[in-house]
Amino acid sequence: MADQQGRAIILMCAASLIFAVQDALSRHLGSNYSTYFVVMLRYWFFAAFVVVIAARAPGGLAAASRSRRPFVQITRGLLLAAEVVVMQIAFVRLGLVGTHALFTAYPLLVVALSGPILGERIGWRRWAAVAAGFAGILIILQPGRGVFSPSAVLPLAAALMFAVYGLLTRLVARDDSAQVSFFWTGIAGAIGITIVGVPQMEPMAMRDWPWMACLCLTAVAGHFLLIRAYDLAEASSLQPFAYTQLVWVSIVGMVVFGERVGLNVVAGGTIVVAAGLFTWWRAQRRSTPAPDR
Distance between CA 143 and CA 282 in Å, rounded? 30
- pLDDT at 235 (0 to 100): 60
Q: Give tens-digit pLDDT for 162-189.
A: 889 888 888 888 898 888 988 999 999 9
Report helix, strand or coil for 147. coil
Q: Is residue 91 within 8 Å of residue 23, measured between CB atoms?
A: yes
Distance between CA 291 and CA 287 in Å, rounded? 12
Stretch 114-126: mean pLDDT = 74
- Cβ neighbours of residue 91 closer than 8 Å, sequence gap 6 or more: 23, 26, 27, 30, 99
Stretch 83-90: mean pLDDT = 95
DSSP secondary structure, 219-286, as one string: HHHHHHHHHHHHHHS-HHHHGGGGGHHHHHHHHHHHHHH-----HHHHHHHHHHHHHHHHHHHHHHHH
Stretch 125-137: mean pLDDT = 77
Q: Residue 286 — very low, low, confident or very high, per pLDDT cuts 50/70/90? A: low
Q: What DSSP element (H or E) covers 185? A: helix 178-197
Q: Is residue 5 within 8 Å of residue 237, measured between CB atoms?
A: yes
- Cβ neighbours of residue 180 closer than 8 Å, sequence gap 6 or more: 63, 64, 65, 66, 67, 73, 172
Quick check: 288 pLDDT over 80? no
Distance between CA 230 and CA 9 in Å, rounded? 10
Q: 204-215: buried (b, 16+ CB within 10 Å) or exposed (e) per residue?
A: beeebeebbebb
- pLDDT at 87 (0 to 100): 94
Q: What DSSP element (H or E) covers 26? A: helix 2-30
- pLDDT at 171 (0 to 100): 86
Stretch 129-146: mean pLDDT = 70
The more confident residue out of 218 and 235 is 218
Distance between CA 238 and CA 97 in Å, rounded? 22
Distance between CA 131 and CA 272 in Å, rounded? 10
Q: Residue 158 — very low, low, confident or very high, per pLDDT cuts 50/70/90? A: very high
The residue type at 120: E
Long-range pairs of 238-242 with CB within 8 A, sequence gap ≥ 24: 238/8, 238/9, 238/12, 239/107, 239/280, 240/277, 240/280, 241/9, 241/12, 241/13, 241/16, 242/12, 242/16
pTM for the model stands at 0.84
Number of C-alpha atoms within 13 angstroms, CB side, residue 142?
13
Distance between CA 241 and CA 10 in Å, rounded? 9
